[in-house]
Amino acid sequence: MNWQPYRLYIVVGVVAVVSAWLADLSEKGDEESTVVLHNGADYFSQGYSKTEMNESGVPKSDLIADSMMHHSGDGTVHLQHPVMTLYNDSLPPWVIQSESGILSADGDNLQLNGKVHINREGGKGVSPLTVNTSQMRVRLPDNYAETDEWAEIISPPNRTTGIGMKTTFVEPVHLRLLRKVKGRYEVN
């Protein structure tokens, strides 16, 4: 059989088949390379505020922030300039603020990033107290916080510093520095 008159058709057919195969292969490669886990923000707020009540309907804690961004992939809430207030029955509240924070999806854990300042005003039977530190982890259900960083506890006129701290904000209040503890105390 003489293939000469059909040679152009055969070449065009082979090129078409190879092109189709390469295009299909390219599309499959694109699909595989564009699989991305989505962890983008699905909603946000400017001026975020959240209040948690105890069993009696009395505020247990407040969390406010300049802005909030919820991430859909892991359910975390990213906060800018968060301020958390933890209320105690008969004592002044604790006010904890930081540069930024990440609230876990279950709402039980708050990672405070950057500089962290903790204040409690003085009141009946308690002295004013200020804590300066950074990178603090807060477990909200049991009002517990800890850091591995340098911390400073000021209860005028006394000042104590150390590395690492564990704190409980409910009665009985505990502030424990873990290493390299130094203090300056004035006795009246």
| Structure token digits, residue 124 | 């009946």
**Total domains present in the chain:** 2
Are both 97 and 22 inside the same structural domain?
no
Query: Residue 173's CB: how many other CB atoms inside 10 A?
Result: 15
pLDDT at 37: 46
Among the listed residues 91, 99, 95, the one whose alpha carbon sits nearest the alpha carbon of residue 119: 95
Among 17-21, 70-74, 84-88, the least confident range:
17-21
Are both 85 and 173 inside the same structural domain?
yes
User: Is the predicted pLDDT of residue 96 greater than 60, yes or no?
Assistant: yes
∠ CA 167-172-174, rounded to 5°: 25
Considering only residues 97 and 188, tell me which one the structure prediction assigns the higher pLDDT. Answer: 97
Are both 128 and 71 inside the same structural domain?
yes
pLDDT at 134: 92
Are both 54 and 25 inside the same structural domain?
no
Task: Encode 79-115: b = buried (16+ Cβ within 10 Å), e = exposed.
Answer: beebbbbbbbeebbbbebbbebbbbeeeeeebbbbee
Decide: 94 and 169 in contact? Cβ < 8 Å: yes
Are both 19 and 70 inside the same structural domain?
no
Full residue range of the structural domain in which residue 147 is found = 41-184
pLDDT at 76: 87
pLDDT tens for 105-151 read: 888 899 999 999 999 998 888 889 999 999 999 988 888 999 999 99
Kindly list the distances between the CA atom of residue 89 and the CA atoms of 108, 143, 166, 171, 180, in Å, as whole numbers in the listed order.
21, 14, 22, 9, 34
Are both 24 and 61 inside the same structural domain?
no
Are both 58 and 20 inside the same structural domain?
no
Counting residues of the chain whose pLDDT is more than 90, the rounded percentage is 28
Are both 150 and 90 inside the same structural domain?
yes
pLDDT at 2: 67
Counting residues of the chain whose pLDDT is more than 70, the rounded percentage is 84
pLDDT tens for 62-75 read: 889 999 888 888 88
The CATH number that applies at residue 65 is 2.60.450.10
Decide: 164 and 175 in contact? Cβ < 8 Å: no
| Structure token digits, residue 150 | 């340098």
**Could you tell me the pLDDT band of residue 1, with boundaries at 50, 70 and 90?**
low
Are both 63 and 81 inside the same structural domain?
yes
- Work out the average pLDDT over 80-89: 90
**Could you tell me the pLDDT band of residue 29, with boundaries at 50, 70 and 90?**
low
Are both 9 and 60 inside the same structural domain?
no
Are both 45 and 74 inside the same structural domain?
yes
User: Is the predicted pLDDT of residue 36 greater than 50, yes or no?
Assistant: no
Among 6-15, 92-101, 152-161, 162-171, the least confident range:
6-15
Are both 67 and 25 inside the same structural domain?
no
